[in-house]
Structure 1
Amino acid sequence: MRALQNILLLVSIFTSTKALSTDIPTSSRAERAISGIEAQLKKELAEKDLKYGAPIFIRIFKDPGVLEVWVEAGEGVFSKFKSYEICTFSGELGPKLREGDNQSPEGFYFVNSARLNPWSKFHLSFNLGYPNTYDRNHGRTGSALMVHGNCVSIGCYAMTDTYINEIYALGVAALQSGQPFFRVHSFPFQLEPETLSKYKSNQWYSFWLNLKEGYDYFKKHKRPPNVEVSEGKYIFGP
């Protein structure tokens, strides 16, 4: 009886693992892109004592136009793996407000497997999930706000195809290894006091002060916070 139970347990684990893998959408384009970069990514990660398939976290800064990929190094603590230059984004500093305003969003988003698009018109992409709960609470509208390749933008964050291949591969590997979703935090700039003080007269200053709370949480703990919305504001916790 115990032997049978062990066999059934192994079958269950195999089945659930297989199901986890097949839940990730794919295409021949995505598979070629990942296979072409996987070995190099593993090598570069190993040089920083990081593992391919470990959970990832992404931060975006409109100024100076950088996307950072952080990888969990152990015990929930993340280490910066790479910074990628953003090819282009739409609009100016400040959040996206409505459909068609050609503005790239700012705020706290997450990407699960359902938000991957290996068939994208812009090489490869993933959907940020805009509008999130905060955005909807403030009446903001829009759809299909992505990080993608092809270096063109009408509201998205566009990367070169080479860069999106790496970012996409890291995201897929993390999701395949069990990370249920990876967080993407999008900021106007590094929300340090000396920089933010220059924008006190900006219409978005109070909004950015709220974003700074999440920015500071990660700076202190080196792990992205849990993000919720209460009374029209982002709130942060473990």
Structure 2
Amino acid sequence: MRYRNLIIFGITAATSFGAILIFVRGSLKKRLIIGIVTVAALACAALFLRSPIKEAMMQVPALRPLLGKKTVSDQIQTYGEVARARLNAMFKEKGFTYPPAKLAMLAFKDKRILEVYVGSADGNFQHLHTYPVLGASGKLGPKLREGDFQVPEGVYRLESLEPNTPYHLALRLNYPNDFDLEHARIDGRSKPGSDILIHGSNGSVGCLAMGDVASEDLFVLANDTRDHNIAIIICPVDLRNFEPPPASPNDPVWLPTLYQEISKALKNYPAH
């Protein structure tokens, strides 16, 4: 239970406060002051010491500003051991060595899945695992502007690991990439959007929500992979096996070019 430690902290603080009011002698004002100081001391211990209580509090978005920002190293220290245990089991089952030399992620909107591929130093990729996408807004087709609720489509790279988001852990894509910016300029679109993440939680607007456990796996795996030039390809359908969706009158004229670019990039990753 994700909030178990936080609930325990709340019960402990409330019990301590109640006991002080009942058993400590003195005026009500004195007992209230002692109770408040005691609860504050418990809170400080939770905030400034590395503790399960603090980690539980980090799961509540409203409390995160009070807890201070974390670094990638902090989050790897917190989640690395348990995530690596899951990852090592996946690698062992496939006969792969952990950590991999290279990493790639392929997202398919129609099936709402994210396929993870690992590669050797010479670029030979093999399928490792498929995660369900728990939340993604919009429909098939590219993202065109800020606020259109669309998940982008294209050939992207991991820009950074994000240790401080309201959605547990996240991977930031380099959206908009050069293709997006060039065609936004040609179309006269000044705001193609930004802040596209693969993150935890189960709901999202314009990003891919994977759930907290999967986000831990992906965060740690991306951190541990030796080559940090990590491909992230987002597709309407699996263009290795299927034709692109039928064109509609509202599609951008450059959409076939985008799908050709995606199809070319997918050839590096054998369908399984």
TM range (shorter): 0.7 to 0.9
Query: Residues 202 and 41 from structure 1, CA distance in 2 versus in 1: closer, same or farther, beyond 3 angstroms?
Result: farther
Query: 2:167 is matched with which residue?
Result: 122
Query: 1:48 is matched with which residue?
Result: 94
* Amino acid of the structure 1 residue aligned with 2:178: T
Query: Residues 220 and 152 from structure 1, CA distance in 2 versus in 1: closer, same or farther, beyond 3 angstroms?
Result: closer
**1:161 counterpart (190, 203, 212):** 212
Q: Number of residues paired by the alignment?
A: 193
| TM-score between the two structures when normalised by the length of structure 2 | 0.64
Q: CA RMSD in A?
A: 2.3
In structure 2, distance between residues paired with 1:217 and 1:122: 32
In structure 1, distance between residues paired with 2:80 and 2:257: 37
Query: 1:34 is matched with which residue?
Result: 80
The answer to whether the 8 A contact 2:137-2:205 is kept is: yes
In structure 2, distance between residues paired with 1:202 and 1:42: 48
Greater strand proportion: 1
In structure 1, runs of 5+ residues without a counterpart are 1-24, 224-238
The answer to whether the 8 A contact 2:239-2:266 is kept is: no
* Amino acid of the structure 2 residue aligned with 1:124: L
In structure 2, distance between residues paired with 1:219 and 1:102: 25
Q: Counterpart of 1:138 in 2: which secondary structure? A: helix
Query: Residues 202 and 184 from structure 1, CA distance in 2 versus in 1: closer, same or farther, beyond 3 angstroms?
Result: farther
The answer to whether the 8 A contact 2:104-2:231 is kept is: yes
Q: Counterpart of 2:125 in 1: which secondary structure? A: strand
Shift of 1:205: 8.2
Shift of 1:209: 3.3
1:183 aligns with 2:231: yes
* Amino acid of the structure 1 residue aligned with 2:220: A
Shift of 1:219: 4.9
1:106 aligns with 2:153: yes
In structure 2, runs of 5+ residues without a counterpart are 1-70, 185-190
* Amino acid of the structure 1 residue aligned with 2:118: V
1:101-149 Cα deviation digits (max 9, x unpaired): 111111111014xx11012211000111111111111225211111100
Q: Counterpart of 1:76 in 2: which secondary structure? A: coil
| TM-score between the two structures when normalised by the length of structure 1 | 0.72
In structure 2, distance between residues paired with 1:66 and 1:50: 22
* Amino acid of the structure 2 residue aligned with 1:103: Q
4+ residue runs over 6 A deviation: none
1:75 aligns with 2:122: yes
In structure 1, distance between residues paired with 2:251 and 2:124: 31
Q: Counterpart of 1:199 in 2: which secondary structure? A: coil
1:1-238 aligned at under 5 Å gives the runs: 25-54=71-100, 55-73=102-120, 75-112=122-159, 115-139=160-184, 141-174=192-225, 177=226, 179-192=227-240, 194-196=242-244, 199-201=246-248, 203-204=250-251, 207-222=254-269
Query: Residues 166 and 142 from structure 1, CA distance in 2 versus in 1: closer, same or farther, beyond 3 angstroms?
Result: same
> Greater shift after overlay, 31-40 or 213-222?
213-222
Q: Which has the larger radius of gyration?
A: 2
Higher relative contact order (CA 8 A, sep 6+): 1
